[in-house]
Amino acid sequence: MLKRRLMTPGPTQVPEEARLAMARQVTHHRTPEFKRLFAEVLEGLKEVFQTTHDVIALTSSGSGGMEAALANTVPRGDKIIVLEAGRFAERWTDIGHAFGLEVIRHEVPWGKAVDPGDVARLTSEHPDAVAVCSTLQETSTGVVHDLAAIGEVVGPTDALLLVDAISGGGVVECRTDDWNIDLLVVGSQKALMLPPGLAFVAVSDAAWQRIKAVEPQAFYFNLSTYRKKLDGGPDTPFTPAHTLLAALAENLKQIHAEGIEAIWRRARRLARATHAGIEAMGLELFAERPADGVTAVRVPEGIDGLALPKRIEQRFGVKLAGGQAHLKGQIFRIAHMGIIDELDIIGTLFAIEAVLYEMGYQVHPGEAAAAASRVLAAAEEPVVAT
Ligand SMILES: *Cc1c(COP(=O)(O)O)cnc(C)c1O
């Protein structure tokens, strides 16, 4: 018998209160009770996303939110710039192509962060681009991009800033309004600690103006349809996944009680502790600008990168994520978001170290956990604005 510990950067562990909420009998959504719950959830999300603008809830995985963002703001044939620095950023390009958009791909080597200076050059070279698409936390490489700086560059231009914060929203610092983010997409199964099935899109006023002027390439994902239902006690045009929304209400209570800034700080501490443990094993981080919600680690020379996470799972029940696409076998990834806590991190570091030891790699079991513990035992530092 193994105790399972989900340490992947999505889906993530779901808190007990949310799981119990989902065990209750299904209710009906055309009721005052649902409207109350939905209003509460949308307000709570605004705080998490640091926006005063509308938040739209879609019943889909995160990618549905990305599709909605593009299909509602960019007409067929128009130009977008994609800041392509990993597997998930490529999805913007794929969606763009599916909708017949002209995609200017700014390819950044995986593991590197987007240089805001390059964004400035691109927006001046392509003044006709109507959107710039970025990722906040690139889950495939463990990089967080400097959205504050990118937003400063894109803000004064005519282009909208579309951000995939599917895994970043709720764990890494993200100030949607202050950073000029026009459409922010967040998924349910990452830092929001829910099962998969919901996507959220925060929409700025400038984005709504664009949406009104554009013929949407969408029916189910037509954001105007959802917008109309928000007035007069929020409602949804289609049957919402209200079981998931009830669970979200439970998670938002806990998020609100702790405060979003404190949650960002907590994630940063866990990230630092993880980095310290990884470095103590003599391993290398993959990301040039490491994100607070996920750590990507290079598999060391001489170790089978596909066997490593498998053996860790078999031996300890700890589920890590491997690499995607050309990074398969090259990296592994550890999440530190949601309810993943200090002991999960310490235990996971030990599990990695113990299996590396078994595989003949030169480590001293216990050292990684010790290095991480020292970071966690130190006094809490104030969050540094990125
Ligand atoms: C998980 C993830 C996605 C994909 O989301 P789905 O819910 O699987 O559609 C997209 N972007 C990022 C950054 C992610 O972490």
Neighbours of 167 (CB within 10 A): 30
319 and 340 inside one domain: yes
Same structural domain, 63 and 207: yes
Residues 190 and 329 grouped into a single domain: no
pLDDT single digits (tens) 58-113: 999 999 999 999 999 999 999 999 999 999 999 999 999 999 999 999 999 999 99
CB atoms within 10 A of CB 39: 14
Asked whether residue 253 falls in the same domain as residue 169, the answer is yes
In this structure, are 130 and 243 located in the same domain? yes
Last residue of a domain, one of 240, 257, 274: 257
Last residue of a domain, one of 211, 239, 257: 257
- Helices (DSSP H) in 187-258: which residue ranges? 205-213, 223-228, 242-258
Q: Whose CA is nearest to atom 10 of ligand 1?
A: 88
Q: What HEC string does 173-201 produce?
A: CCCCCCCCCCEEEEECCCCCCCCCCEEEE
Atom of ligand 1 nearest to the CA of 188: 7
**Pair 71, 221: CB distance under 8 Å:** yes
**Shortest-distance atom of ligand 1 to CA 135:** 13
Strands (E), 269-314: 294-298
The answer to the question of residue 385 being in a domain is no
Question: Who wins on pLDDT, 232 or 148?
Answer: 148
The CA angle 173-113-156, to the nearest 5 degrees, is 70
Kindly report the pTM of this predicted structure. Answer: 0.97
Do 236 and 273 lie in one domain? The reply is no
| Percent of the chain residues topping a pLDDT of 70 | 98
Residue 76, token pair as written in the block: 């067929």
Tokens representing residue 252 in the block? 């938002």
Measured in Å, residue 60 CA sits from the centre of ligand 1 at 11
Q: What is the pLDDT of residue 382?
A: 55
> Reduced to 3 states, what is the DSSP secondary structure of residue 140?
coil
CATH of the domain at 318: 3.90.1150.10
Q: Is the pLDDT confidence value at 384 over 70?
A: no
Tell me the C-alpha distance between 301 and 281, whole Å: 13
Confidence of residue 383 (pLDDT cuts 50, 70, 90): low
Nearest CA to ligand 1 atom 6: 62
Same domain, 25 and 156: yes
> Exposed/middle/buried for 102, CB within 10 Å: 0-12, 13-18, 19+?
middle
Range of the domain at 344: 5-10+260-377
Q: Answer yes or no: do 110 and 163 share one domain.
A: yes
Collapsed DSSP state (helix, strand, coil) of residue 29: coil
Contact assessment for residue 238 and residue 68, using Cβ atoms and an 8 Å cutoff? no
Ligand 1 atom nearest to CA at 136: 13
pLDDT value at residue 381: 60
pLDDT class of 1 with cuts at 50, 70, 90: confident
Write the DSSP assignment of 56-88 as a string of letters: EEEES-HHHHHHHHHHHH--TT-EEEEEE-SHH
Give the mean pLDDT of 168-191: 98
Q: Is 315 within a domain?
A: yes
Tell me the per-residue pLDDT of 319-329, one tens digit each, with 9 for 90 and over: 999 999 999 99
